[in-house]
Amino acid sequence: MPQSHEFDVLIIGSGAAGLTVALTLPAHLSIGVISKTDISSGATLWAQGGIAAVLDDQDSVDNHIEDTLNAGAGLCHEDAVRFTVEHSRESIDWLIRSGVDFTRETDSEHYHLTREGGHSHRRIIHAADATGHAVSTTLTQQAQARENVHLMSNRVAVDLITNRKLSLPGNRCVGAYILNLDTGHVELFRARFTVVATGGASKAYRYTTNPDGASGDGIAMAWRAGCRVANMEFNQFHPTCLYHPHAKSFLITEAVRGEGGLLKLPDGSRFMDRFDDRGELAPRDIVARAIDHEMKRLGIDHVYLDISHQPADFIRQHFPTIYEKCLGYGIDITREPIPVVPAAHYTCGGIMTDERARTDISQLYAVGEAAFTGLHGANRMASNSLLECLVYGRAAAEDITRLATTIPAPPAAPDWDESQVRDSDEDVVISHNWDELRHFMWDYVGIVRTTKRLQRAKHRVDLLSREIAEFYSNYRVSNDLLELRNLVTVADLIICSALQRKESRGLHYTLDYPGLQPDARDTILVPTSYQTPSS
């Protein structure tokens, strides 16, 4: 028999956002943290660059806000930006108290701060070039030591459970159905509060820097449950992913350019100065489009990122992970340039939330990359993402703590019914649809778009949606089927959002509408199951 579980707080996702919520909540609340594979397998683990925060006397909150607003191309919500930046220092202090060992200046007690694209000051605190690893392992160790935090791996969320699904009055989330990959059964998780911290949706694209689990699960589940989503057309493509036949989506951090790395063509010439006065330190969308333009113009598969002009000891000290990884593929970055190509990296849109990370559904929160807070606008500025995880994770925990004594236990809910389904003998359908989806998203909904390409993608995604819905109705669920179901949902959201934006702004660049509209507006999609707050 499938198990059932009950917690005060159910957190779906175990990256920086989810673990920040878990570790900020009081010890008297029972907390369940769900992870697809290992607890530390999310995108946080792979984040190289660092965390943006106002830590230097020469910097200021207003400077950080201005840089973020400029990178966001007029779509950032200034109140969300200010809220995030004003809470940056305390969030870093919390990480330091938790045990994260950030890199210090040589022979100094001061922390080393680097600079990345879009930032006017050095404000990126980091742990060498593996900040995400340091944050993830530290927070995981802290969570493992908490008696009230239950870390549960090898589980994949299927759907959220709401009052509406239970035919009860009100608009409340009361838990989720979760597939246990070890047993193959779907388990019932009931909770007074549920937090979606599942990361982004970059796996909808053929090339991505993200881990395998970045399939937009939380965004798709929240959409099906009745939450609005916003700005899904803004997919950030990281300009520099290692290009090598045996390297699987290895990201070359923006800090390499921040420390003097130069982008070059095969003949050794630079090209970024032809696209932006800031050169290699231009925001990511500009750099990615410039690389894409040069690759298409010259018919080449990649360009080069060269930092070999810096002292070898400097390179090995600041970028030990990248140095060792590239050396393993026969590339000595102290002597030669790194072959790089853009890849889908970050989902700037997501589930609409407020300053406390609350969604449209009561007792349902969204934090991290799955959420739309208004911070990133049309283009996320480098190293603001981990900061967002910390600030909004702590805000969600504070709101849950405030409400904990007033929210009753979740109502009874039925076990998952799989009596009408059977095991699939056609898994080739899943793999074929998976490949088709990621290919047409890359070709038609990528760095540079046109209305015709988007319409083609919409036609394809509608066909796939019908096929996958039929498959989901007839066969027992699996991890691959659930991810495919969620990916086709978020792909549709991305395409619909892109079709609605009749301009080129930030990460959304279309040849049919190369200019800006006079008014900067969010693209908000409303599901048929949406209920207004008063209902």
Of the candidates 257, 284, 453, 460, the residue annotated as catalytic is 284
- Beta carbons within 8 Å of 527's beta carbon, 6+ residues apart: 223, 224, 226, 227, 228
173-180 vs 155-162, strand pairing mode: antiparallel
Round to whole Å and give the CA distance between 209 and 190: 34
| 104 CB burial (10 A radius; 0-12, 13-18, 19+) | exposed
Q: 């305390």: which residue's tokens? A: 90
- Beta carbons within 8 Å of 237's beta carbon, 6+ residues apart: 284, 285, 288, 342, 343, 344, 345, 446, 447, 507
| 226 C-beta neighbours (distance < 10 Å), count | 22
Round to whole Å and give the CA distance between 63 and 19: 29
Q: Is 284 a catalytic residue?
A: yes
- Token pair, residue 442, equals 């890359």
Beta bridge partners of 9: 31, 193
How many residues are given for the chain? 535
- Token pair, residue 96, equals 């330091």
Phi-psi region of 62 (alpha: psi -120 to 50; beta: other; left: phi over 0): alpha
| 154 CB burial (10 A radius; 0-12, 13-18, 19+) | middle
* Nearest to 318, CA basis, from 45, 107, 106: 106
Residues marked as catalytic = 284
